[in-house]
Amino acid sequence: MAEIESGEAQPNAEPQDQVEPQTQQEIKKTSKKKSDTFRMADESAAECLFDRLRQHQQRAPDATEVARAITARINSRLTSHDKHIRQTSLEKLWNKHSGALQMLVSILETSRDSATCTYITSILRETLCLKPGKGKRLSANNLMRQQCAEDFIAMKGTQAIVRKLLGILHDKRERHASSELLQQDLLWILAPLGSRDPKFAMKVRMLGCVRTMHLILKGHFTDNKIIFPLLVIMKQLAKNSVTTSVLIRDGVISTYERIMVSLGFIPTARLRLCLDAIDYFSKNKVCCMQIVKTGLSTVLLRVFDRWDRYEGRMRLKICAHILQTLQHLCNIKAGRRALCTKKHVQTLHRFCSHCPDEPEFDGLLARVCSVITLCLKHQALPVAAASPAMFNLNPILKGTNTLWPCQDEEDNVNSDSKTVNSDADDDGPEPDLDSIEEFPDFDLDESETKSETIPEDTEKVISKSGDSIQSAIWINPNERDIEDLKKYFIFFKEFGSYNKQVRLVKSRSNSRGSILEDFLISQANIKNMTSSLNLSLSTVLGANECDNLFGTSSSYQYYKVHESASSTSCSSLKIHKDISKYSPFSSVYCTISSKVKSVIPFVKVAYPDMTGGQSQNIPEPLNQMERTACRNKLLSCVDRAINPEAYMYEVIYDLDQLCSGSSDPNTPKSLSCESFYLCNNDEQEVAKMNTFSTRLSFESRFESGNLRKAIQVGPREYELILMPDVNSNKRHQWFYFEVRNMQQGRPYIFNIVNCEKSDSQFNFGMKPVMYSVKEAISGRQGWVRAGTDICYYRNSYHYAHQRNLNKCYLTVTFNIEFPHNNDVCYLAYHFPYTYSMMMARIWHWSLQMPAGAYLRAETLCYSLNNNEIPLVTISADDTPSNPIVEREIIFLTSRVHPGESNASWVMDGTLGYLLGDTPAAAALRAKYVFKIVPMLNVEGVINGCHRCGLTNEDLNRRWCKPSPVLHPSIYHTKGLIEYLVRVWKKPPLVYCDYHGHSRKKNVFFYGCAGAESWCSNDRMVQDEPVKYLMLPALMHRISAAFALGSCSFRVEKERESTARVTVWRHLRVTRSYTMEASFCGFDKGPFKGFHLNTQHLQNVGGDFCEALTSLNDAATNVDIQITKDLNGEIGVDSEPGSAPDSVLKTDSDEDFD
Residues designated as active site: 1076
Alpha-carbon distance of 1139 to 1131, in angstroms, equals: 8
CA 176 to chain centre: 58
Q: Please give the C-alpha separations between residue 831 and each of 13, 757, 939, 1075, in angstroms, as whole numbers.
A: 93, 20, 18, 18
Q: Tell how strand 569-571 and strand 928-933 pair up.
A: unpaired
For residue 640, which phi and psi values (nearest 5 degrees)? Answer: -65, -35
Alpha-carbon distance of 692 to 762, in angstroms, equals: 32
Query: In sequence order, what are the beta bridge partners of 890?
Result: 930, 990
Q: What is the dihedral of CA 466, 472, 473, 478, to 10 degrees?
A: -150
- CA angle in degrees (0–180, nearest 5) for 836-488-1106: 60
Alpha-carbon distance of 51 to 842, in angstroms, equals: 86
Contact 495, 929 (CB under 8 A): no
Alpha-carbon distance of 751 to 760, in angstroms, equals: 15
Amino acid letter for position 814 = F
Alpha-carbon distance of 119 to 78, in angstroms, equals: 11
Q: What is the DSSP letter of 385?
A: S
For residue 616, which phi and psi values (nearest 5 degrees)? Answer: -70, 135
3-state secondary structure 724-754: CCCCCCCCCCCCEEEEECCCCCCEEEEEEEE
- CA angle in degrees (0–180, nearest 5) for 1087-909-568: 160
C-alpha count within 13 angstroms, C-beta hemisphere, residue 1153:
33
Closest to 780 in 3D by CA, of 788, 768, 789, 772: 772
Closest to 784 in 3D by CA, of 938, 650, 615: 615
C-alpha count within 13 angstroms, C-beta hemisphere, residue 152:
31
- CA angle in degrees (0–180, nearest 5) for 680-681-686: 135
Three-state SS at 814 = strand
Q: How many CB atoms lie within 10 A of CB 595?
A: 18
Element at 827 (helix H, strand E): strand 825-828
C-alpha count within 13 angstroms, C-beta hemisphere, residue 806:
16
**Rounded CA Rg of the chain:** 37
Q: Tell how strand 1072-1078 and strand 853-862 pair up.
A: unpaired
Alpha-carbon distance of 667 to 660, in angstroms, equals: 12
Alpha-carbon distance of 183 to 81, in angstroms, equals: 25
Q: Please give the C-alpha separations between residue 766 and each of 238, 1001, 1091, in angstroms, as whole numbers.
A: 38, 10, 7
Query: Cβ neighbours of residue 128 under 8 Å, at least 6 residues apart?
Result: 145, 148, 149, 152, 189, 192, 193
Alpha-carbon distance of 715 to 695, in angstroms, equals: 8
- Number of residues that this document lists for the chain: 1153
Contact 656, 709 (CB under 8 A): yes
3-state secondary structure 983-1013: CCCCCCCEEEEEEEECCCCCEEEECCCHHHE
